[in-house]
Amino acid sequence: MRTINLGLSGLQAPVIAVGCMRINGIEKAEASRFVKSAIDMGANFFDHADIYGKGTCEEIFADAIGMNPAVREKILLQTKCGIRPGAAFDFSKEHILKSVDASLKKLKTDYLDVLLLHRPDALVEPEEVAEAFGILHANGKVRNFGVSNQNPMQIKLLQKYVKQPIVANQLQLSITNATMISQGIHNNMLSDDAVGRDGSVLDFCRLHDITIQTWSPFQYGFFKGVFLGSKEFPKLNAKIDEIARKYGVANTTIAMAWLLRHPARFQPVTGTMNADRLKDCVKAADITITRDEWYEIYLAAGNVLP
């Protein structure tokens, strides 16, 4: 699969990442087939979080892939920490170190290629984050670091203390959840679309070589459902289907190609546990839709131009 530079890490990563949040919802044999099929497709970047599946997904993944040194050399592993479900966000040094050790044990590996801080912690003490990152980097447990759902000022605050580069920011983005893009188009206008909700994080990440990993690339709302085939978006689906016929691919491929067409070089994180659907996602890496097609899809989703 086509690769990108992940931020300033020097790490060459597949342009599409495989999200493992739902791996606890399939049988072990099916999970094994899925992860091995992903590797065969070149989709060897696997995204985790310590809370996925109430803490079970990392362990299920390691068992499914048959983790050992030879397998580990073939894949890139990313996980996230910082959420104590229902209690708090926790970026304390103690919690970060404890969480990483637990994830390494579950994943049956000695190191992570990337660690992300999972959503912002209102009580973050960046000095503690810097200490934790420094320890993890020095002892080889984590090679690269990033964040999720953070705005530019939150990242800048971390960067004041953290010595390692912030290589990625995982943010929600899809054709139907495109405020990150639309607010720039509507800049200096009086419409609601001009409201800045993220501090121009798209431009900030591009300026600072931080890869935006887009989560829920096929969802609308906050996990309301998939827009592909949904009666909620008839014009969008008709347009995507039309373009899909032109390229001889599935609608999933075109929806993914829409994200990949953006010059920010997003790294979409898939959520499917279906190998055939993942294959349709991977095909998007070889397709470049036209500028007109990109805007036609954007408008068909209900977005407007000023």
Active site residues: 52
Which of 126, 232, 120 lies closest to 175 in space, CA to CA?
Answer: 232
25: CB partners within 8 A, 6+ apart: 273
Decide: residue 73, CB within 10 A, 0-12 exposed, 13-18 middle, 19+ buried.
Answer: exposed
The span from the CA of 184 to the CA of 287, in Å, is 25
**What are residue 270's DSSP bridge partners?**
18
The Cα diameter of the chain in Å comes to 57
The span from the CA of 213 to the CA of 15, in Å, is 10
Decide: residue 265, CB within 10 A, 0-12 exposed, 13-18 middle, 19+ buried.
Answer: middle
Count the residues in the chain.
306
Which of 9, 5, 74 lies closest to 38 in space, CA to CA?
Answer: 74
Tokens of 149: 């759902």
The span from the CA of 166 to the CA of 300, in Å, is 35
H or E stretch at 195: none
The span from the CA of 278 to the CA of 26, in Å, is 15
The span from the CA of 222 to the CA of 176, in Å, is 11
β-strands 17-19, 269-270: how paired? parallel
